């Protein structure tokens, strides 16, 4: 599709303006590329209107009262560097020609007589230059994006190697100077950002969408850090990001604690507000210099271990660590063994929930470190599977317990839901829950649906429901919802020609750009292209 260009006329002769207006009207019947958007009778008025309208092409007389055309162009150039200027003159003057060349004017046309062929040639030349400028801008933008993506990739590799101790401090310092990371010579705190409900995130989004969201998360974290001082952030691995907050002057412990909580709460709020992602954040103690970075990371990482026993969207510092009772490990192991022995066929949901609640109550009072607790829960998962499988052997239709990225309560809820389904059905069919979820989605398709709302409706934990849905339907929950929303949009387009905004309202998607991306992903066309194709088909 040919690009369209806006044009503006500046001339103090009414006859010339009328002639040019007629020229553009006749031109619009032949082709729709060049549109006249305004006119002015002198240079000063021209500047005022042109800065408002920002036309692609300006056609101007030279000799005019109050300000001549070349002086007008010289003032406009700094503000509108890509606008193309065509000069009209009734005088053959070397001085004007010199000034026009100096002002980088595109064409110099004699207007007595004013020939349409000269105007056509000048407009085509301007269009060619504008197209080339647009192409160069797109290439430059693409290059910038590529450079930025490579910068984050290099940064991620650098910090991963650094915290593993694979880069000596002198090499780190050289790299930092090249990347302009000067703030490590000042005071800084390392912090870890951890995505909550990462198992659900992996089930809901494709690998490509996961990478896009992680890239966006990194940018939001870094922008928030820069609002609070100096620093940076980068993707670390899986569900974790690493960041640094730096400040020049010495701070008291109380001031440092306040700064960390302020930044942490802002990051949590911004990621939920802008990307609908829930995270928790752990800060280490203040440090200074490159030699301390590995230690700073280890401190923040140790604090982040407390996330295992917290709900989502938590900010932690070394001052407020949990106290672990690893000496109660054997007591809890006996409780888990009793639970496995107790579980029988046809146990009710209420009975099972009471047993799970008792286990949770014990751990609430006596927290055992994740490194000890998580393997115990994994063993219980396997024991229950073995107990209700014929011959007490594990088979491949049972998914591995998702131990790595779940908090304790998520793991316990996952085991409870899994146990109830397994002891009742003897196999992972999950007919009723999936059917109820699909009915809930269908009923609320025009609303903004969330995984948590659907899981609550079918009385399952979000992590388990997300895993269960993907296993049963061979499709993630979000992917299924998006596909259904696009199908609804297609049905609506068969009825009438909705605008994109109207379609977004009807299918419960807030962002128009995201809706168009989804629509094209599922249909191969934008909503407008699809409607045009449908209209052609109907007219046959």
Residue (of 336, 333, 327) closest to 366 by Cα position? 327
Tokens of 462: 């979000």
- Domain boundary residue among 286, 319, 352? 319
Residue 330: pLDDT band by 50, 70, 90 thresholds? Answer: very high
Same domain, 206 and 315: yes
Parallel, antiparallel or unpaired: strands 187-195 and 287-288? antiparallel
Q: What is the pLDDT of residues 131-143, one digit of tens each?
A: 888 887 776 655 5
Tell me what pLDDT residue 94 has: 52
Bridge partner list, 235 = 241
- The confidence score (pLDDT) of residue 373 equals 94
Q: Is 370 a domain residue?
A: yes
Together in a domain, 9 and 97: yes
Residues 402 and 524 in one domain: no
Residue 61 is assigned to a structural domain of this protein? yes
For residues 448 and 535, state if they share a domain: yes
Mean pLDDT (whole number) for 240-245? 93
- Mark whether 312 and 181 lie in a shared domain: yes
Choose the final residue of a domain: 289, 319, 349.
Answer: 319
Q: 300 lies in which domain range? A: 167-319
Indicate whether 197 belongs to any domain. yes
What CATH number should be reported for the domain holding residue 50?
A: 3.40.50.2300
Structure tokens given for 475: 């499709």
**Per the domain annotation, does 502 fall within a domain?**
yes
CATH code, domain with 274: 3.30.70.270
**Distance between the two ends of the chain, CA-based, in angstroms?**
24
What per-residue confidence (pLDDT) applies to 427?
A: 45
475, 445: one domain: yes
Residue 331: pLDDT band with limits 50, 70, 90:
very high
CA distance 300 to 297: 5
Residue 224: pLDDT band with limits 50, 70, 90: very high
**Phi, psi angles (nearest 5°) of residue 31:** -155, 155
- Please state, as a whole number, how many other Cβ atoms lie within 10 Å of the Cβ of residue 493: 16
Minimum mean pLDDT range among 209-213, 245-249, 366-370, 393-397: 393-397
Asked if residue 156 is part of any domain, the answer here is no
pLDDT digits (tens, 9 = 90+) for 274-325: 888 899 999 999 998 777 888 999 999 999 999 999 988 999 999 989 999 9
The reply to whether 388 and 484 lie within a common domain is no
Indicate whether 448 and 499 sit together in one domain: yes
Contact at 8 Å (CB) between 282 and 222?
A: no
Sheet holding 84-89, edge to edge: 34-40, 5-10, 57-61, 84-89, 107-110
If one counts the domains in the chain, the total is 4
Q: Give the integer Cα–Cα distance in Å for 312 and 281.
A: 10
Is the pLDDT higher at 512 or at 489?
A: 489
419 & 452 share domain = no
Whether residue 143 lies inside any domain: the answer is no
Residues 6+ apart with CB under 8 A from 147: none
What CATH number did the domain enclosing 449 receive? 1.10.10.60
pLDDT-based confidence at residue 105 (cuts at 50, 70, 90): confident
Q: 296 and 237, same structural domain?
A: yes
**Distances in whole angstroms, Cα of residue 22 to Cα of each of 25, 26, 27, 49, 468:** 5, 6, 8, 21, 68
Same structural domain, 176 and 315: yes
């Amino acid at each position: 599709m040919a690009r369209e260009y806006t044009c503006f006329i500046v001339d103090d002769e009414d006859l010339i303006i009328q002639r040019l207006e007629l020229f553009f009207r006749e031109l619009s019947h032949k082709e729709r590329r060049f549109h006249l958007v305004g006119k002015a009778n002198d240079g000063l008025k021209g500047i005022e209107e042109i800065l408002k309208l920002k036309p692609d092409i300006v056609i101007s007389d030279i000799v005019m009262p109050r300000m001549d055309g070349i002086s007008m162009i010289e003032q406009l150039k700094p503000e509108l560097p890509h606008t193309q200027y065509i000069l009209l003159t009734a005088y053959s003057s070397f001085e004007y020609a010199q000034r026009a060349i100096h002002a980088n004017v595109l064409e110099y046309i004699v207007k007595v007589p004013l020939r349409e062929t000269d105007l056509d040639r000048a407009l085509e030349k301007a269009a060619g230059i504008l197209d080339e400028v647009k192409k160069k801008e797109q290439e430059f933008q693409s290059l910038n994006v590529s450079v930025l993506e490579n910068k984050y990739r290099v940064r991620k590799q650098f910090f991963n190697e650094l915290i593993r101790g694979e880069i000596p401090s002198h090499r780190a310092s050289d790299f930092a100077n090249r990347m302009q990371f000067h703030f490590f010579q000042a005071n800084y705190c390392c912090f870890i950002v951890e995505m909550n409900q990462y198992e659900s995130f992996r089930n809901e989004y494709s690998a490509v969408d996961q990478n896009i969201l992680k890239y966006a998360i990194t940018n939001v974290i870094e922008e928030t850090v820069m609002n609070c001082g100096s620093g940076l952030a980068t993707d670390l691995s899986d569900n974790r990001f690493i960041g640094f907050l730096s400040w020049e002057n010495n701070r008291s412990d109380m001031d440092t604690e306040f700064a960390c909580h302020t930044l942490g709460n802002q990051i949590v709020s911004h990621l939920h507000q802008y990307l609908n992602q829930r995270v928790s954040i752990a800060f280490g103690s203040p440090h200074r210099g490159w030699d301390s970075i590995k230690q700073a990371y280890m401190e923040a990482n140790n604090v982040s271990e407390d996330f295992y026993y917290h709900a989502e969207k938590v900010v932690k510092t070394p001052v407020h660590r949990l106290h672990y009772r690893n000496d109660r490990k054997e007591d809890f192991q006996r409780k888990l063994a009793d639970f496995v022995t107790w579980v029988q066929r046809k146990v009710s949901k209420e009975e099972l929930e009471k047993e799970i609640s008792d286990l949770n109550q014990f751990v609430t009072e006596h927290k055992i470190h994740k490194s000890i607790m998580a393997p115990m829960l994994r063993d219980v998962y396997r024991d229950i599977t073995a107990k209700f499988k014929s011959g007490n052997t594990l088979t491949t239709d049972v998914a591995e317990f998702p131990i790595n990225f779940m908090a304790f309560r998520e793991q316990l809820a996952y085991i409870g839901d899994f146990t109830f389904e397994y002891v009742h059905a003897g196999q992972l069919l999950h007919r009723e829950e999936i059917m109820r979820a699909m009915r809930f989605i269908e009923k609320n398709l025009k609303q903004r649906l969330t995984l948590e709302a659907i899981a609550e409706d079918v009385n399952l934990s979000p992590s388990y429901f997300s895993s269960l849905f993907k296993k049963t339907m061979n499709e993630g929950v979000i992917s299924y919802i998006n596909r259904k929303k696009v199908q609804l949009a297609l049905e609506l387009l068969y009825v009438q020609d909705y605008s994109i905004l109207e379609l977004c309202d009807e299918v419960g998607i807030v962002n128009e750009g995201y809706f168009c991306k989804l629509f094209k992903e599922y249909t191969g066309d934008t909503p407008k292209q699809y409607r045009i194709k449908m209209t052609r088909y109907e007219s046959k």
